[in-house]
């Protein structure tokens, strides 16, 4: 357990979500183990006693997340309510309590997977392993980032930005991720044997995480080789895909897909519809932010945008489509593949960006990075108009 709590404390820092030495991670096995000693452990041990959990993660976020979350929490009235896909499907809302006290934290965590304590940090739990706590903490940071910048654009357009919003924005802008001038070189295809496919998937996942183009364990990657689609497993971390890739027959003739990504059907339909072999899905922040930007008033689908939006929306040449994870009537498998035809990428409303390529992941990754860079540039250009 000590190895695990150390691992996820390190991953939080490596992801830029916390400063070195800030994460406090506890894991319960035969005994309760912490990655380091801290006065907060005493209060958090009472949280363990009040919940049926395996792990806790507590940390003050790094900038710009610290200022963003503090601003949102100060206006939250009990909970922050983002509208991105991960919050809708997994987090629901982000509770805020006014004190670092075990009873208040336990009450919030009995209902949700995380809690924000202004002036202290975020507490998140894991039921099975510290990885879950890392995922929930990371998701809070992602959701709050997207909400702040999406709201900032709306408020700028309406002429109602507050001085506090402007101050947080000025903190955040210099700290945005820096993109390299050129895309990294990945394995060259087309691949001629299965081992190369596995290695290419592992490499593509790792570089996507390294460039902060995906949040926590979200995103997925696949490659068609012959009559089989090799795809990352559901719940797998893109930077740790060794042993977490499923070979799924394209015709669905086996149950190999039972542990595959929940977006297996969408990936399969994409390769069948486009003739492309490589599919890469990340959650780059400004692609998601721009997908949420809509100026249509009195829309009959308000509140259902992520599944029902009937508008043909674009970011330049990149379509924005609705769609939910899974195979229901509003599933991505129905909305995403047709939009991908002859496109270098498609953004799913509030969810993320999908890109494709013919032979390997070089073009798919380059497009993922380029589209996100362009979305950020467009966002800043839109602000200059108001």
How confident is the model at residue 85, as a pLDDT?
79
Calpha distance 27→32 (Å, rounded):
6
Indicate if the alpha-carbon torsion angle 46, 47, 50, 56 is positive or negative: negative
- Quote the DSSP letter at residue 144: H
**Confidence (pLDDT) at 216:** 62
Residues 6+ positions from 50 with CB-CB distance below 8 Å: 102, 103, 106
* 161-184: average pLDDT: 95
Rounded to whole angstroms, the Cα distance separating 155 from 205 reads 36
Check whether 309 has a pLDDT greater than 90.
no
- Give percent of the chain above pLDDT 70: 98
Q: What is the pTM of this model?
A: 0.95
Confidence bin at 294 (pLDDT 50/70/90): confident
Interval 97-146: pLDDT, tens: 999 999 999 999 999 999 999 999 999 999 989 999 999 999 999 999 99
Which has more confidence, 332 or 199?
A: 199
Q: CA torsion sign, 320 to 326 to 329 to 333?
A: positive
Q: pLDDT per residue over 37-72, tens digit each?
A: 999 999 999 999 999 999 999 999 999 999 999 999
The predicted structure's pLDDT at residue 297: 79
Q: Which of 46-55, 204-213, 249-258 has the lowest mean pLDDT?
A: 249-258
DSSP string, 100-114: --HHHHHHHHTTSSE
DSSP string, 12-78: HHHTTSB-TT--EEEEESSSEEESS--TTHHHHHHHHHHS--SEEEEEPBPTTHHHHHHHHHHT-TT
Per-domain residue ranges of the chain: 2-157, 194-383
- Residue 22 vs residue 86, higher pLDDT: 22
Alpha helices in the chain (DSSP H): 2-14, 41-50, 65-74, 85-86, 102-109, 130-158, 163-172, 194-210, 264-274, 285-291, 305-308, 332-340, 362-383
Q: If you search the block for the tokens 């406090």, which residue do you land on?
A: 24
Gap between the Cα atoms of 280 and 367, Å rounded: 10
Q: What is the CB neighbour count within 10 angstroms for residue 385?
A: 7
C-alpha–C-alpha distance, residues 122 and 310, integer Å? 37
Indicate the range of 21-35, 64-78, 307-321 predicted with least confidence: 307-321
CATH code: domain 194-383 is 3.40.225.10
Using an 8 Å Cβ cutoff, are 153 and 135 in contact? no
User: Which has the closest alpha carbon to 61: 52, 73, 70, 72?
Assistant: 70
Average pLDDT, the chain: 93
Helix, coil or strand: residue 258: helix
Sign of the Cα pseudo-torsion (102, 110, 350, 186, in order): positive
pLDDT of residue 386: 66
Provide φ and ψ at 142, rounded to 5°.
-60, -50
24-38, 312-326, 366-380: least confidently modelled range = 312-326
Cα 317 to chain centroid distance, Å, stands at: 23
Does the pLDDT at position 91 exceed 80? no
Give the model's pLDDT for residue 255.
Answer: 64
Shared fold status for 2-157 and 194-383: yes
CATH architecture of 2-157: 3-Layer(aba) Sandwich (3.40)
Q: Report, as an integer, the average pLDDT of 84-105.
A: 89
Express each pLDDT in 312-339 by its tens digit: 799 999 999 998 877 778 888 899 999 9
| Angle, vertex CA 328, rays to CA 324 and CA 331, nearest 5 | 35
Q: What is the mean pLDDT of residues 144-164?
A: 96
pLDDT at residue 385 above 80? no
pLDDT in the model for residue 367: 97
The model's confidence at residue 357, banded by pLDDT at 50, 70 and 90, is very high
Mean of pLDDT values over 246-271 = 85
DSSP state of 360: S
In this prediction, residue 298 has a pLDDT band, given cuts at 50, 70 and 90, of confident
Q: What is the pLDDT of residue 295?
A: 83
Provide the 8-state DSSP code for 353.
E
């Amino acid at each position: 357990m000590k190895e695990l709590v150390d691992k996820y404390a390190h991953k939080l820092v490596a992801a830029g979500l916390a400063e070195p030495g800030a994460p406090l991670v506890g894991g319960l096995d035969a005994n309760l183990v912490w990655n380091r000693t801290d006065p907060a452990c005493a209060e958090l041990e009472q949280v363990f006693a009040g919940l049926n959990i395996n792990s806790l993660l507590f940390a003050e976020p790094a900038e710009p997340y610290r200022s963003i979350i503090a601003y949102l929490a100060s206006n939250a009235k009990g909970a922050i309510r983002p509208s991105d896909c991960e919050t809708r499907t997994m987090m629901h809302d982000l509770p805020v309590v006014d004190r670092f006290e075990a009873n208040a934290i336990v009450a919030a965590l009995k209902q949700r997977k995380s809690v924000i304590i202004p002036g202290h940090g975020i507490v998140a739990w894991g039921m099975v392993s510290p990885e879950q706590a890392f995922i929930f903490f990371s998701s809070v940071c992602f959701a709050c980032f997207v909400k702040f910048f999406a709201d900032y654009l709306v408020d700028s357009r309406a002429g109602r930005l507050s001085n506090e919003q402007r101050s947080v924005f000025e903190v955040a802008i210099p700290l945005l991720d820096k993109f390299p001038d050129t895309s990294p070189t990945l394995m060259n295809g087309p691949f001629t044997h299965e081992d190369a496919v596995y290695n290419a998937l592992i490499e593509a996942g790792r570089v996507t995480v390294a460039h902060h183009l995906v949040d926590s364990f979200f995103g997925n990657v696949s490659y068609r080789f012959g009559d089989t689609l090799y795809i990352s497993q559901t719940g797998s971390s893109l930077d740790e895909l060794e042993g977490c890739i499923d070979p799924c027959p394209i015709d669905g003739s086996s149950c190999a897909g039972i542990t595959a990504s929940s977006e297996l059907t969408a990936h399969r339909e994409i390769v069948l519809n486009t003739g492309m072999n490589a599919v890469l899905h990340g959650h780059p922040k400004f692609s998601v932010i721009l997908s949420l930007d809509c100026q249509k008033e009195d829309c009959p689908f308000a509140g259902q945008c992520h599944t029902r939006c009937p508008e043909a929306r674009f970011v330049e040449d990149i379509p924005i489509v609705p769609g939910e994870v899974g195979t229901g009537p509003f599933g991505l498998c129905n909305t995403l593949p047709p939009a991908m035809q002859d496109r270098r990428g498609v953004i799913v409303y509030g969810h993320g960006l999908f890109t494709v390529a013919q032979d390997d992941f070089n073009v798919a990754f380059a497009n993922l990075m380029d589209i996100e860079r362009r979305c950020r540039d467009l966002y800043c250009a839109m602000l200059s108009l108001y």
